[in-house]
Amino acid sequence: MLSQMEFPGGTSVQAITLVDARTYNLNLSQEGQGTVSVSKSQLKPGENATLTAQAAQGWSFDHWEENGQNLGYYKSSYGNDGNSRSLYQGGL
């Protein structure tokens, strides 16, 4: 957005407002038996989403992965498109 003000004597002041229009996509998948859901799959900078993993009967949730990196039980934040995966262990 560009705003311009002109003053007597030929002085002009311009103000530019920058808006961060990036949108990040969060893709979910799973390995094993269970379900995974997300509260919001497209995020703008500073927004949060809740990821939920629910193990099927006889299985237990093991950990989250982000772009191949083991994140343990808790999801962390990141600043680009991500591929999150929930992993489950079976035979319990």
Q: Is the pLDDT of residue 80 over 70?
A: no
Output the pLDDT for position 77: 54
Output the pLDDT for position 55: 87
Output the pLDDT for position 75: 56
d(CA 55, CA 67): 21
pLDDT digits (tens, 9 = 90+) for 3-57: 666 667 777 777 777 777 888 888 888 888 888 888 888 888 878 888 888 888 9
User: What pTM did the predictor assign?
Assistant: 0.60
First CA to last CA distance, the chain: 58
